[in-house]
Amino acid sequence: METTIKSTPLNSWHRSNGANMADFGGYDMPLWYASVKDEHLAVLTAAGVFDTSHMAAVTVTGPKATDLLQHCFTNDLDACMGPSKKPLSPGRAVYGAFLDEKGHSIDDAIVFFMAAQNYFVVVNAGMGGAIADHLEKNRGGRDAVVLDLTDRLGKMDIQGPEAARILAPLLADPDAVFAGMPYFSFKGHYDPASPLADAVRLKDGTPILLSRTGYTGEFGFEIFLSPDKIGSLWEGLLDTGYAHGIKPCGLAARDSLRAGAVLPLSHQDIGHWPFINHPWPFALPFTADQTGFTKDFIGRAALENPDEVLFTQAFVGKDLRKIAAGEESRVLDADGRSIGTVLTCATDMGIGRADGRIFSVASPDRPEAFKARGLCCGFLKVDRKLSPGEHVDLADSRRKITVTITDDVRPDRTARKPFSEMIASR
Amino acid sequence: MKAISELKLPDNLRYTDDHEWAKPDGDTVRIGISDYAQDQLGDIVFVELPEVGSTFDKGAEFGTVESVKAVSELYMPMGGKVTAVNETLADEPERVNNDPYDSGWMIEIEASDAGEFDALKSKADYLEILKG
């Protein structure tokens, strides 16, 4: 069978700028340019731009659009915002997953509530068709229209504490855009025909969907726009960001940043096993006491009564040394018995240990002589619940390392910081 | 990623299929990894080297080099006894990226059979492998 590898609109830029390229999700993507370590550190201390046009999106519109998503998406759109679990409002986005009847994840997603009866759903590379089919198959008689936008949108992310300062000069009206933009909110639209398009325009008039979300744990944005406009925005951000220390970043830095931020990679950390007992309970519609669910959805029965009980847990290592994750890897308890496998094992090069705790290169209270040597971190899938602080050994065919179960890895992340702190002049 | 024409491959070294290099230095032979290898691995963050005094056969694994991407084995281009290891790599593993043939060297050995050097690949032969 002939397989074709797709490319994003920035492919020639990556190649002419020395990127080490590889196939990811069926797309020819940059792994890194000159130095993955420098890219990772730039996002912690300045900013980085990522080509994420390989990601897919679908729209769900119509009178019963909400009802269809409530049936298929894990999070409860009527009760997902903030500690008081308010309904999702227009201009806000929420994370969750699409499950099958077995409670297994088909893919994870962010659902953007654009306007009444109008949702934009961002899924992973190559998953637009599968999720559109899944929604259509489960539509029943609901009056809703599902549209796969795969390869019809450009997407790039700018992440890091300098992101807003770098983006501001490229926006037609940055003050208006940045006013009232909390984490997981968005403004604007990628479609010039949308009434929302006027909310965010670049100086050249291009409308963009600007979302305060990302996949690094750091402050910044995901930007959706017409594919033919992404090249000029990409180069524009690199130009205005130069004095701020911006770097183009590849998928390797994206992976190590998200691992340190305890964010899952779909089809690796979540997948064909029950989507429960993991570090992302906010993706499920739990009642306040965490004992039940607030709504019905595909996969609910299986999650309430799973055929296999597995736990996904985050870990952090003693130093930067890692093992090869995957089916061949083993998690060993104190008696050397295998209790599971390693899903992700990456090195966050921006952190290290000092005075008995973990600091990041961006920690305000880091010791004067602190040098981030990097720590390995990631996720395990085990057959019992382990407690934070517990040690286990991870083994591959070559080496064995001791790691600690944890709730969190990289400290002092900026994703949730008040916007005002991120645009104040420094 | 460097194009093959951009790779530095000194004429006076010999190379292996596994991308190590060997360079005679008086009675000993210095060993490291090639510019191609460091470029493929990306940022090297940790180098695990053997104890001075240990002995390995030609082709045996003598250590590992860890990049942000993966952990890779290091193999002996020639058999021999380790007489020195590059201790500076413990703190500055990036030397392997920046200067793979000089300050990024890995071990020094007393070869058990000096004739093994001549069996290693010349720059021209090594280039043929890289070109595939």
Ramachandran angles phi, psi of B14, nearest 5°: -120, 150
User: What are the chain B neighbours of A37 within 8 Å (beta carbons)?
Assistant: 43, 45, 68
Burial A52-70, CB ≥16 within 10 A → b, else e: bbbbbbbbbbbebbbbbbb
User: What are the chain A neighbours of B43 within 8 Å (beta carbons)?
Assistant: 32, 35-38, 349
As a whole number of angstroms, the distance between CA B14 and CA A334 comes to: 46
Residue whose C-alpha is closest to residue A114's, from A197, A176, A173, A206: A197
The rounded mean pLDDT for chain A is: 96
pLDDT for A240-286, tens place per residue? 999 999 999 999 999 999 999 999 999 999 999 999 999 999 999 99
Our measurement of the distance from residue A199's CA atom to the centroid of its chain's CA atoms, rounded to an integer in Å, reads 24
Token pair for A174 = 């940055």
As a whole number of angstroms, the distance between CA A269 and CA A264 comes to: 5
Q: What is the pLDDT of residue A3?
A: 67
Q: Do B45 and A252 count as a contact with CB atoms less than 8 A apart? A: no
Quick check: B1 contacting A, CB < 8 Å?
A: yes
- Domain B21-131: assigned CATH number: 2.40.50.100
Determine the Cα angle at A380 with ends B65 and A399, to 5°: 30
As a whole number of angstroms, the distance between CA A234 and CA A227 comes to: 11
Q: What is the pLDDT of residue A4?
A: 86
Token pair for B129 = 């492998």
Q: Cα–Cα distances in Å, from A58 out to A51, A121, A129? A: 19, 5, 8
Cα distance between the two ends of chain B: 16
Quick check: B27 contacting A, CB < 8 Å?
A: no
pLDDT for A381-390, tens place per residue? 999 999 999 9
As a whole number of angstroms, the distance between CA A103 and CA A303 comes to: 6
Q: E strands within A131-265?
A: 145-148, 154-159, 186-188, 209-211, 220-225, 246-249
Give the number of other CB atoms < 10 A from CB of residue A325: 20
- Greatest pairwise CA separation for chain A in angstroms: 64
Task: Give the mean model confidence (pLDDT) for residues B50-79.
Answer: 95
pLDDT confidence band for A426 (50 / 70 / 90):
low
Tell me A368's DSSP state: T
Q: Any idea which fold A265-406 has?
A: Elongation Factor Tu (Ef-tu); domain 3 (2.40.30)
Task: Give the mean model confidence (pLDDT) for residues A180-194.
Answer: 97
As a whole number of angstroms, the distance between CA B104 and CA B33 comes to: 8
Nearest chain A residue to B3 by CA distance is: A18
Percent of chain A with pLDDT over 90: 95
Q: What is the pLDDT of residue A1?
A: 46
B118: distance to nearest CA of chain A, Å?
Answer: 31
A191: distance to nearest CA of chain B, Å?
Answer: 36
Domains of chain A: which residue ranges? 11-53+153-258, 265-406
A 19-38 → B contacts, CB under 8 A:
19-21, 31-32, 35-38
* Helix (H) or strand (E) run with residue A135 in it: helix A128-137
Interface mutation target, options A14, A16, A17, A20, chain B, most CBs of B under 10 Å: A20
- pTM to 2 decimals? 0.94
- Domain A11-53+153-258: assigned CATH number: 3.30.1360.120
Which residue in the block uniquely carries the two structure tokens 């909110």?
A185
Q: Do A323 and B71 count as a contact with CB atoms less than 8 A apart? A: yes
Q: Cα–Cα distances in Å, from A228 out to A154, A188, A225, A248? A: 8, 18, 8, 19
Q: Do A320 and B43 count as a contact with CB atoms less than 8 A apart? A: no
Which amino acid belongs to residue A7?
Answer: S
Question: Using an 8 Å Cβ cutoff, are A71 and A134 in contact?
Answer: no
Reply yes or no on whether the pLDDT at A333 is more than 70: yes
pLDDT for A16-41, tens place per residue? 999 999 999 999 999 999 999 999 99
As a whole number of angstroms, the distance between CA A248 and CA A51 comes to: 8
